Chains A and B, each alone.
Chain A
Amino acid sequence: MNRRLFLTQAAAVSAAPLLTAADKPSGLVDCNLHLGPHPTRALPEIDEAFLAKRDITEAWAGSFEALLHRDMGAVNERLVKRCAASSRLSAVGSVNPRLPAWQTDLRLCAEKHRMPMIRLYPNHHGYTVADDVFAQLLTEATKLKLRVQIVAQLEDQRTQSPLMQVPPVDLKPLAEAMKKVPESRVMVLNANASMITTALRGCTNVWLDIAMIEGVAGVENLLTSWPADKLCFGSHAPFFYWESAALKMQESVLTEDQQNGIRLGNARALLG
């Protein structure tokens, strides 16, 4: 851990102005944020002040409303409006392929809202990545040049509301599904280390985020078995304290290339 990095992270944590502008990293993409009301918790709002304080230059934000609402068109409209509050925010709309005429939501995300990607919640919406409907959705999204984020889990099953128990997504069939859509660009959010080493083993053409990578020096350890160009900074804020992801970058010793890739370059490559 070099001194400068330590101070960068310490500054992020304490918000103390320890650095001069020249020392600051050139950008940080947080690819895993949510806006809007959460079903069971009153969470802080991710707004311009939140992002600026943490030097987040690009914030890819989905909507908590997408989990349970059926009027997905309106959910995505509201998300776009919320994201207009900060130039750092980028709206990631949702599509639920179990809803009638989901294709319209998909098309609006691409053509009306000009979104670069969509976010899917297979287990909240009642399908698996082995289902035909997922294959159709992946095919259609890819035709529209939409990247696809799949949320593997949102909350530890042990702490979920008894009325809303949602197990993690089974990611094992993902590799097979992606083979049928070779142009697809997929990012899995909130995967944990055991999903990565079992279900996603060999599926190294997907991007991942670090929000639920646990264990001491978890990021550093993951990079011994996962390509460094397919791992991105994601915080899962505001459900998680944002500082968790920032401190993970400090707990692991990473080369400058790895740092830059995780903070910025790899997310850009997903978009590119």
Chain B
Amino acid sequence: MRIWDLHCHLSGVAGLTPEERLGSLIKYADRVGIERLCVYMGMKWAQDPSADDLGKQNDDVLRALEKHKDRAFGFVYLSAKHVERSLSELERCVTNGPMVGVKLWVAQRCNDPMIDPIIKRAAELKAVIFQHTWFKTTANYAGESTPDDLVALAKRFPEVPIICGHTGGTWELGIRAIREQKNLFADLAGSDPTWGITEMAVRELGADRIIYGSDSGGRSFASQLAKVHGAQISDADKQKIFCDNLRNMMLPILKAKGIQA
């Protein structure tokens, strides 16, 4: 089975430099059969990063990619609170750099149209768009999107594929929330490997709308791979979830950049 990991970070893993940390991630990924890692955000995280912070974190990822471009893809970290800087980071890291996707986290809820210029430009570049979401019983952060917020955004861009990070964490709710919004894809990463997430997602969304990711280094690859390896679904569906769906989404931008994968 080919496995690409949609969701990795340079945190929670040993290494003094970005490239050392990515090297460690790759070492562990090799043990469990993962071919490629998508990586985003830098050595020191900020939930509500300043414009300069965004630049620094993206610098970290660029530096890590430089050393490991045969194994990793980079997503540029952006924030709707800094639209101008986000647009210039997009040009620097994606248009003129090696990155192929966009990561949006918890600075600003994505239902607010202030995010729209970022989505519009990312879509023009065919960059993969990833928005973190959670439905927390214990309450979301102020700027943390729910899958419902993401549906509101996706309705404004019905032709643009967007990934629903963590499938909302509380996946029974997240899957239901995004079910009818066909341009939304479910990221399986970063929640406990609770039985049934993948079976329900396949049943409700179809295997074509589900993407494996881990949220490593904070998570183990193991617990997240288990959601697919352990699911009672067909091997053909597992292959779509492990690699094919993400690869198909990425192929246009990979081709444009002349990247073979």
Contacts and interface: CB of A to CB of B under 8 A. Distances in A.
A247 B12 contact: no
A161 B137 CA distance: 7
Contact of A43 (B170, B171, B192, B196): B196
A13 B191 contact: no
B31 A240 contact: no
A246 B170 CA distance: 24
Interface stretch (B93-101, B156-164, B214-222): B214-222
B186 to A, nearest CB: 15
A214 to B, nearest CB: 5
B229 A250 contact: no
Contacts of A155: 192, 194
Given A217-B220, A247-B226, A241 B195 contact: yes
A204 interface: no
A253 interface: yes
Given A215-B218, A240-B192, A248-B222, A158 B138 contact: yes
A156 B135 CA distance: 12
Nearest to B196: A41
- A interface SS class: loop
Interface in B212-261: 216-223, 225-227, 229-232
A26 interface: no
Nearest to A165: B137
Contact of A240 (B134, B195, B225): B195
Contacts of B220: 213-218, 244, 247-248, 251
A244 B229 CA distance: 9
B32 A244 contact: no
Contacts of A14: 229
Contacts of A213: 220
Contacts of A159: 136-137, 169-171, 191-192, 194
Contact of A244 (B136, B137, B223): B223
B24 interface: yes
Interface string B29-66: 00111000000000000000000000000000000000
Interface string A16-49: 0000000000000000000000000111100000
Given A213-B220, A247-B32, 13 more contacts: A41-B194, A165-B138, A215-B219, A216-B28, A216-B217, A238-B195, A240-B223, A241-B229, A247-B222, A247-B225, A247-B229, A250-B31, A251-B220
Interface of B: 12-13, 24-25, 28, 31-33, 134, 136-138, 169-171, 191-196, 216-223, 225-227, 229-232
Which 7 A-B pairs rank lowest in CB-CB distance, beginning with the nearest? A241-B230, A247-B222, A243-B230, A244-B226, A243-B226, A241-B226, A244-B193
